[in-house]
Structure 1
Amino acid sequence: MSTLSSKKESEKIKVSVGIVFYNPTNENIRQTFFNIKQLSSINIFDFSFYLIDNASTDRVLQRMIPQKLDKNIHCIKLKKNKGFGYGHNSIINKLNSDYHIIMNPDIELKDMSGFVEAISYMQHHDNITLLSPLVRNQSDGEIQLLNRREPTVFDLFIRFLGPNIFPKRQSYFVKEKHGYDHIQTDENATGSFMLVRTKIFKEIGGFDTKFFMYFEDTDLTKRIGTKGKVIFFPYLTVIHGWKRDNHSVKGIASMVKSMVIYFNKWGWKIL
């Protein structure tokens, strides 16, 4: 493992964590505080946590959060749900960290040695602006194939139709054969867990809030990638609950809308 260093050896590296909730389950809240406890156990870092309630329609968050929070845990209640990216952007002006984590409430963190290694790797590679981890299923531990290539209209269309449509092309899109065993460029990082360089994240203005949900992570990958290198880092593992609603009518409509916004912005690459 590489040796961690900072501008001054006596200063701890500052790491902020942003988690956006919308009608979270009790398990989401429990998981979040488990992750906070796990991360806080790494005493070589100075952590700050931001729990952002994206205008939930219930009071689960208020009921589950302890009456007394540590001073490094901040709760933000937004008046209106303007999307995943907007929720994360709401804390940009509050961030005073070296690295910032964008994390879903259904992520489980146990790999603390991998986390330290990821920060260490970024410390020693100044050109890296975003690091994406290896993601495994919560249910069976299988790798989620999220080290994807830059999307085309064709790739998204056949994925929507099912895994048996043009299977070789789908395998190519998710880099199934050689995409999960070594450090490599990531063209389409997952928004479930992103480790970004805070200065660069703030410099680009965070997420593009035109995306309410879907493709905001793909867009951020491209934009933050213009400032440096985005990598897939298999030596940090996170567990993801993987709950999607994009096959509901509302989910399909939201996904198609975001897809149009994305391709209008970056160009309609058909194949």
Structure 2
Amino acid sequence: MNNVAKLTISLVVYKPDLNQLNDTLTSLATSLDYAGSSYHIYIIDNTPQGVESGISTEYISRYFKYDEVTYSRNEKNVGFGGAHNQALDVQSDFHLIINPDLIISRDAISNAMLFMSSNERCGLVTPYATWTDGTIQRLCKQYPSVLVLLLRGFAPPFIKKPFNKLLNNYEMVGVINCDEVFWNPPMVSGCFMFFKTEVWKKCRGFDHRYFLYFEDFDLSIRAKQVCDIAYVPSVKVVHHGGYAARKGLKHIVLFFKSMVSFFRIHHWRWF
């Protein structure tokens, strides 16, 4: 992976929803065309060998030219962070990590590049995001407690209600809005992480101890030690993602395993 480009992008798929992936690749192509800078995309397929993923070089060529994309497939699922780390040796000014369930606005990439170029200390940009229905999805978070994570991920609404203030504080409601740049939120989501490539490399990417969940929080905490992080509302995305509890027992187990790893690596906060 030694292509030289202004921008590199890594996108990891695992048994992808091809309708969502179509939306992602279509919006990515539109945003890249609008930005007008050279780029190279790394699509890493974590779908195990022997299982049909629906992805191929022919599929990708519907959206991008052959020399604009490197497609690779792992023999087994190496995890979200492990797959993105296969793009650690990229040569570029900026590196974008995106999910395959994201719709990127036409000017999102150009606005992220402009903002980062105008703010020398900024090494990571996080966007303004909405859910599919248009409601705000809060990608910036305070450092969590075990109670907050359990409430947010697994509690029914009637149990959450008495803890609304606590949950709103965690999601920085009333602190971050859709109009103003906010500097250095404690943690940011991994669905769209726009890095200066030198920061991505200095952090050594995602921590291999996380297979899925919390690797983005861990990385943003480490990135904040070497650069400023900015929430930039002119960088807009729509994210289809969902909570672990809605994805079945396997995801719940992975969530708890990663949560324990996160608190052990950083520090425990129970309430």
TM-score by length of 1: 0.88
Alpha-carbon deviation of 1:43? 5.3
CA contact (8 A) 2:79 2:211 kept: yes
Choose the corresponding residue for 2:175, options 147, 165, 178: 178
Which residue matches 2:92? 97
Choose the corresponding residue for 1:128, options 90, 103, 122: 122
Secondary structure (helix, strand or coil) at the match of 2:177 reads coil
Which residue matches 1:153? 146
Which amino acid in 1 is paired with 2:255? Answer: M
Q: Does the alignment pair 1:16 with 2:8?
A: yes
Which residue matches 1:189? 188
Secondary structure (helix, strand or coil) at the match of 1:235 reads strand
Secondary structure (helix, strand or coil) at the match of 1:45 reads coil
In 2, Cα distance between equivalents of 1:219 and 1:29: 26
Which residue matches 2:262? 262
TM-score by length of 2: 0.88
Alpha-carbon deviation of 1:117? 2.2
Alpha-carbon deviation of 1:110? 2.3
CA contact (8 A) 1:85 1:209 kept: yes
Alpha-carbon deviation of 1:88? 0.2
Which residue matches 1:164? 161
Choose the corresponding residue for 2:131, options 128, 137, 144: 137
Q: Which ranges in structure 2 are unaligned for 5 or more consecutive residues?
A: none
Quote the sequence identity (%).
Answer: 26
Which amino acid in 1 is paired with 2:181? Answer: I
CA contact (8 A) 1:111 1:236 kept: no
Alpha-carbon deviation of 1:157? 2.6
| Structure ranking higher in helix proportion | 2
Secondary structure (helix, strand or coil) at the match of 2:41 reads strand
CA contact (8 A) 1:13 1:44 kept: no
In 2, Cα distance between equivalents of 1:145 and 1:33: 23
Deviations 1:64-112 (A, max 9, x none): 333894311110111121110001001212x111111100011111231
Which amino acid in 1 is paired with 2:251? Answer: G
CA contact (8 A) 1:29 1:61 kept: no
With 247-256 and 77-86 compared, the bigger mean Cα shift is at 247-256
Alpha-carbon deviation of 1:257? 0.5
In 2, Cα distance between equivalents of 1:59 and 1:263: 34
Secondary structure (helix, strand or coil) at the match of 2:10 reads strand
With 172-181 and 54-63 compared, the bigger mean Cα shift is at 54-63
Task: Classify 1:168/1:24 alpha carbon distance in 2 versus 1 (closer, same or farther; 3 Å).
Answer: same
Alpha-carbon deviation of 1:131? 0.7
Secondary structure (helix, strand or coil) at the match of 1:251 reads helix
Which residue matches 1:242? 241
In 1, Cα distance between equivalents of 2:220 and 2:245: 21
CA contact (8 A) 1:158 1:165 kept: no
Choose the corresponding residue for 2:52, options 58, 66, 80: 58
Which amino acid in 2 is paired with 1:21? Answer: V
CA contact (8 A) 2:31 2:106 kept: no
Which amino acid in 1 is paired with 2:259? Answer: M
CA contact (8 A) 1:111 1:238 kept: no
RMSD: 2.0
Q: Which ranges in structure 1 are unaligned for 5 or more consecutive residues?
A: 1-11
Task: Classify 1:71/1:161 alpha carbon distance in 2 versus 1 (closer, same or farther; 3 Å).
Answer: same
In 1, Cα distance between equivalents of 2:118 and 2:175: 25
In 1, Cα distance between equivalents of 2:218 and 2:97: 14
In 2, Cα distance between equivalents of 1:59 and 1:20: 12
CA contact (8 A) 1:129 1:196 kept: yes
Task: Classify 1:205/1:104 alpha carbon distance in 2 versus 1 (closer, same or farther; 3 Å).
Answer: same
**Alignment: residue pair count:** 257
In 1, Cα distance between equivalents of 2:162 and 2:65: 50
Secondary structure (helix, strand or coil) at the match of 1:196 reads strand
